[in-house]
Chain A
Amino acid sequence: MLNKRYCILSLSLFLLAACTLDKSEPESGGLLVLNIEHSVQQNPLVVDDFLYTNEAGNNYMVTEIQWFFSDMELIDASGNTFTFPEAEQVFYVDTDIEATKEIKFKTRIPAGNYSGIRFIFGLNEQKNKSNRFVNPPESFMFWPEYLGGGYHYMKLNGKWINPDGLTEPFNFHLGIGQVYETNNQNYASYTFGEANCYEHCEGYRPGSILPSVKAFIHNYFQVNIDDISFSVADGKQTNLTLEMKVENWFRNPHTYNHNQWGGSIMQQQDAMQMGCENGHDVFQVKPSE
């Protein structure tokens, strides 16, 4: 009887010790948390107030920003690329929804030193398919079929003061662009300018009198962050901050003027292209403080 008790006691101690040993070993790889921030002129974005002036001299305010980024990759010091699995390849960010501004990746990242990050602003051709998202808020980002389908890469909504001193809404919406038939008057051969902005912006009409869409243009682009250095350690969490510098959408290399482009650009490929080309220095990633 006594021997049996000693046996049970020994076995229990052994199992406890085994459990303790297991727990003391750090898990392989580290976790990444990405905090999303929006800024204007190095200060946190303030919405609903005419605090900002863009490079074209437009006094403007922002009411909300909703956007997708996807296919994030980490590049280590040796040039090796870490790619997240499919389930963690598309993220929606919304200035009105706090939960979207902190992304906790579930996939563990190999320990090591990293010197670069890449991601897609918006969604690429393979991912940008209609009905990919059926649930809000992502589903509210749908891009109409007639204009190419899929989803808005970004809705940046706000207002600016136009030359008449009136407050005018703008929807800086980026997504798939359209190429229209050129045998009629159409935007591809249209001369833009303040004088005919309204006529242009309001001039689109579907049906037989309209030039039809003959092709679509995917405006997404890859963001390369190569001025960063951070480490990932086994069992540890690394916090990075992804910052969108809002004012940069409207500058470098193109000075984007709301007085020229008006309130809506989903059907103005030239404007969307300009916005996307300005996007190269909109984003910055740095270790969180």
Chain B
Amino acid sequence: MNRYFLFPGLIIIMLLSACRDKKSAEVPEPTPYEINIPFAFPSILNIPEDNPMTEEGVQLGRYLFYDGRLSGRTHPDSLMTCATCHIQANNFEAGIDHPVFEGGIVHGITGKTTHHVMLPLTNLVWNRSGYGWSGFIYPENDQPFYRNLEDFVWLAVIAEDELAGDTTRVKELFQEIDGYPDLFLKAFGSSTVTFKNIQRAIAQFVRTLISSNSRFDKYLRGELQLTQSELNGYVLFTTEEGADCFHCHGGGGNPLFTTHLFYNNGKDTIFNDPLDRYSVTGNPMHRGAYKAPTLRNIALSGPYMHDGRFATLDEVIEFYSHHVKLSPQVDPLMHHVLRGGVQLTTQEKADLKAFILTLQDDEFLVNPDFGPPPLFPDQK
């Protein structure tokens, strides 16, 4: 009796096993993408469990990041994608001298200007404190669509002041473009294009955008010596009685050059921006507070502050030196506020700027892995 059950059972198991083998032969597992942690950088990364980094995912994300059809449109006048504004040579920002986005103030495909100016896409794999100037996208958010970089991709595609796209149209368009379904198959195991996988792929690519080889990095690693002016600037940067930048913007012990946290830095005394940090926390003390952006490649990241009120680094240094304003909400770390700022001399301002310029990573700005692909999948 048992034998009659045993043989059909074995046959079914063998068939199932064969099927599984056949499928795995057709769709090889994607190759894990390894991030090498640079010297002194955090070892904990913001990579969600449901979107592990893979070589194939990053490659697909790079195509999508640079493909103007991400707007869901194909007419040459209607193309728009992440790279339309996030330009590698400008620290993945538009740049103050952009021919279309005058003064670096960007607008979406409809012509509507974004509420805040851009933030760079640099070293975001280490950001675990919220995205955007207010940090409204953060991992613990009760709203499931506002939790991580993947959600920012979704938001950028549908937002009226960005791509003003339709997710269904976008995924259907990429389904029809030669080469893309195969890339989705390799990255995510299915040739059916989903918008969720578009989000995942672009987020994976953005997480590879790591800047860690500036002159200051080389100085930290003992590979070169900074000039006397740069060293003076470094001391000013990291002393309370100097320029006092380090508590919010890091230094040798925090080479991200940001805490990714939010501060009212004394720009104003009246706060009426509906999208400041208060809009996220509901704490009245957080009115007028915004993310401290990374200072890596900051010379290319103008205009500065959440509203782009300063066009140049010199203007920013001048502000922190002489024009900080007292309000009940000003952050305690702005302890020079009663004097209007840190009171740098002309020479000190020059030294401080010289140091800040050592944070520019020229290799990052031209790294071909982060640039546009030579050809898109349907151009092969």
Interface size on A, residues (CB 8 A): 41
Given A134-B40, A145-B238, A167-B328, A207:B232 Cβ within 8 A: yes
User: Is A169's CB under 8 angstroms from B334's CB?
Assistant: yes
From A145, A158, A169, A201, give the contact of B330 (CB < 8 A): A169
Residue of B nearest to A64 (CB): B332
Binds B, one of A111-119, A220-228, A244-252, A260-268: A260-268
CA distance A26 to B352 in the complex (A): 62
In whole Å, how far is B5's beta carbon from the nearest beta carbon of chain A? 22
Kindly identify, within residues 329 to 356 of chain B, every residue whose CB is under 8 Å from any CB belonging to chain A. 330-339, 342-343, 345, 348, 351
In whole Å, how far is A158's beta carbon from the nearest beta carbon of chain B? 6
User: Is B348's CB under 8 angstroms from A139's CB?
Assistant: no
User: Is A206's CB under 8 angstroms from B235's CB?
Assistant: yes
Kindly identify, within residues 124 to 157 of chain B, every residue whose CB is under 8 Å from any CB belonging to chain A. 128-129
User: Is A157's CB under 8 angstroms from B332's CB?
Assistant: yes
Inter-chain contacts of A130 with B (CB < 8 A) = 252-253
Residue of B nearest to A158 (CB): B332
Q: Is B242 an interface residue (CB 8 A)?
A: yes
Inter-chain contacts of B246 with A (CB < 8 A) = 142, 144
CA distance A59 to B261 in the complex (A): 27
User: Is A134's CB under 8 angstroms from B348's CB?
Assistant: no
Residue of A nearest to B39 (CB): A131
Kindly identify, within residues 293 to 330 of chain B, every residue whose CB is under 8 Å from any CB belonging to chain A. 326, 328, 330
In whole Å, how far is A138's beta carbon from the nearest beta carbon of chain B? 10
In whole Å, how far is B197's beta carbon from the nearest beta carbon of chain A? 30
User: Is A206's CB under 8 angstroms from B236's CB?
Assistant: yes
Q: Is B179 an interface residue (CB 8 A)?
A: no
Kindly identify, within residues 220 to 247 of chain A, every residue whose CB is under 8 Å from any CB belonging to chain B. none
Binds A, one of B41-49, B54-62, B94-102: B41-49
Q: Is B285 an interface residue (CB 8 A)?
A: yes
Given A169-B334, A169-B337, A263-B335, A131:B242 Cβ within 8 A: no
From B44, B235, B261, B343, give the contact of A135 (CB < 8 A): B44
Instruction: Give 1 or 0 for each of A128-150: 1 = CB within 8 Å of chain B CB.
Output: 00110011100110111111000
CA distance A95 to B373 in the complex (A): 47
User: Is B253's CB under 8 angstroms from A143's CB?
Assistant: yes
In whole Å, how far is B328's beta carbon from the nearest beta carbon of chain A? 6
User: Is A48's CB under 8 angstroms from B42's CB?
Assistant: no
Most buried by A among B236, B283, B342: B236
Given A48-B283, A136-B128, A202-B343, A144:B335 Cβ within 8 A: no
Given A144-B238, A267-B239, A135:B43 Cβ within 8 A: yes
User: Is B336's CB under 8 angstroms from A202's CB?
Assistant: yes
Residue of B nearest to A47 (CB): B285
Q: Is A168 an interface residue (CB 8 A)?
A: yes
Interface size on B, residues (CB 8 A): 46
User: Is B42's CB under 8 angstroms from A135's CB?
Assistant: yes
Kindly identify, within residues 10 to 56 of chain B, every residue whose CB is under 8 Å from any CB belonging to chain A. 40-44
Q: Is B241 an interface residue (CB 8 A)?
A: yes
CA distance A169 to B336 in the complex (A): 8
CA distance A157 to B259 in the complex (A): 16
Instruction: Give 1 or 0 for each of A177-221: 1 = CB within 8 Å of chain B CB.
Output: 000000000000000000000100111111100000000000000
CA distance A205 to B234 in the complex (A): 12
Kindly identify, within residues 249 to 284 of chain A, every residue whose CB is under 8 Å from any CB belonging to chain B. 262-267
Given A142-B254, A198-B339, A264-B335, A171:B259 Cβ within 8 A: no
Residue of A nearest to B330 (CB): A169
From B44, B235, B247, B338, give the contact of A166 (CB < 8 A): B338
User: Is B240's CB under 8 angstroms from A267's CB?
Assistant: yes
Q: Is B103 an interface residue (CB 8 A)?
A: no
User: Is B239's CB under 8 angstroms from A144's CB?
Assistant: yes
CA distance A150 to B144 in the complex (A): 39
In whole Å, how far is A9's beta carbon from the nearest beta carbon of chain B? 23
CA distance A207 to B247 in the complex (A): 21
Q: Is B251 an interface residue (CB 8 A)?
A: yes
Q: Is A67 an interface residue (CB 8 A)?
A: no
Inter-chain contacts of B348 with A (CB < 8 A) = 205
Instruction: Give 1 or 0 for each of B225-259: 1 = CB within 8 Å of chain A CB.
Output: 00000001011101111101011001111100001
User: Is A136's CB under 8 angstroms from B259's CB?
Assistant: yes
CA distance A205 to B252 in the complex (A): 20
In whole Å, how far is A153's beta carbon from the nearest beta carbon of chain B? 14
Q: Is A63 an interface residue (CB 8 A)?
A: yes
In whole Å, how far is A168's beta carbon from the nearest beta carbon of chain B? 6
Residue of A nearest to B286 (CB): A48
Q: Is A121 an interface residue (CB 8 A)?
A: no
Question: Residues of B at under 8 Å CB distance from A?
Answer: 40-44, 128-129, 232, 234-236, 238-242, 244, 246-247, 250-254, 259-261, 283, 285, 326, 328, 330-339, 342-343, 345, 348, 351
**Can you name 21 A-B pairs with beta carbons within 8 Å?**
A48-B283, A63-B285, A134-B40, A135-B43, A136-B128, A136-B129, A136-B259, A142-B246, A144-B239, A144-B252, A146-B234, A147-B238, A159-B332, A171-B335, A204-B240, A205-B345, A206-B239, A263-B335, A263-B336, A264-B240, A266-B239
Question: Residues of A at under 8 Å CB distance from B?
Answer: 48, 63, 130-131, 134-136, 139-140, 142-147, 151, 157-159, 162, 166-171, 173, 198, 201-207, 262-267
